[in-house]
Amino acid sequence: MSAGPHDPLEGFDTTIHAPHRLRACALLEAAGEAEFGLVQTKLDLSASALSKHVTVLMDAGYVEQRKAVRDTRQRVWLRLTKRGRAAYRGHLAALRAIVEPSD
């Protein structure tokens, strides 16, 4: 069965759906750009666990990173790409359609 125009699964994105990736996308959507350490703190994840989720999102073209020196240390900032923002918004719309079906 394929997704049609009224199919609640249209826009559902399994890459984003994983809870930590969904939360990371929500944070980045709201913030525009956030330092890796802030995302790590907000999501209460280890650096390695967050790095794995970010890698999945980057491989999908949903997140990009910017590296720069701040306070004499190299820092990494994350942000959603245009494609990532569209996928995140499409996923949210699909979730809404699933939990709030129209008649």
What pTM did the predictor assign?
0.85
Q: Going from the N-terminus, what domains does the chain have, and what CATH number goes with each? A: 14-95 (1.10.10.10)
Q: Region 9-25: what's the mean pLDDT? A: 93
Task: Give residue 23's Cα distance to chain centre.
Answer: 7
β-strand partners of 74: 69
Are the C-beta atoms of 50 and 36 separated by less than 8 Å?
A: yes
- CA-atom Rg of the chain in angstroms: 15
Is the pLDDT reported for residue 34 higher than 90?
Answer: yes
Q: Which amino acid is at 67?
A: K
Summarised one tens digit per residue, pLDDT across range 46-94 is 999 999 999 999 999 999 999 988 778 889 999 999 999 999 999 999 9
Q: Please tell me the distance from the alpha carbon of residue 23 to that of residue 17, in angstroms, as a whole number.
A: 9
